[in-house]
Amino acid sequence: MGYRQGVEKILISACLLGQRVRYDGDGARSGHELLARWEREGRLVPICPEVAGGLPVPRPPAELRGGDGGDVLAGSAQVVTAAGADVSPFFRSGAQAALALAERHGIRVAVLKERSPSCGSRFVYDGSFSRTRVPGQGVTAALLREHGIRVFSEEELESAAAYMAEAEAPASK
């Protein structure tokens, strides 16, 4: 994707904007000034991949079992509920919806909710439902990265801003 004039859009987990789309029916609004500024500038394109994939709000919590999001995409791991229901197809469908939205808007950067089985970019839960975090990425984060979209968590907003500033800077000769 080459340089485009205008405002660079950012794909964002809808819960980070306070939308009540999380599994427990709540939001996870981030009060960070960078998000507020990007929202005022019209940069943010929100999505909840789990809702976009067909899951209701509220819904049973789900975790990755047998690997991370990349493994779910490859079919060697699953996203399961505590009752053992395989909800992987919903997560794959939601990841595809997020990718389609990003492609439609020419998005190169995403800010996603850390530790989510969809959106986690550095850490996810281990599938034991004991709140044990492990290094890994969610299904949507993995798919976006496979397609060249840079993924950051809400804990890495300054890094996202620095990356965007560098990407938007005109090339010096």
Type of residue found at 108: R
Domain assignment present for residue 5? The answer is: no
Domain assignment present for residue 2? The answer is: no
pLDDT at 172: 52
Domain assignment present for residue 3? The answer is: no
* Tens-digit pLDDT profile for residues 14-23: 999 999 999 9
* Tens-digit pLDDT profile for residues 140-166: 999 999 999 999 999 999 999 999 988
Count Cβ atoms below 10 Å from residue 58 Cβ, excluding itself: 13
Q: Which domain holds residue 47?
A: 10-168
* Number of separate domains in the chain: 1
Q: Is 33 exposed, middle or buried (0-12, 13-18, 19+ CB in 10 A)?
A: exposed
Domain assignment present for residue 126? The answer is: yes
pTM given for the model: 0.92
Domain assignment present for residue 173? The answer is: no
Domain assignment present for residue 14? The answer is: yes
Of all residues in the chain, the percent with pLDDT exceeding 90 is 89
* Cα-based angle 118, 81, 134 (whole degrees, multiple of 5): 55
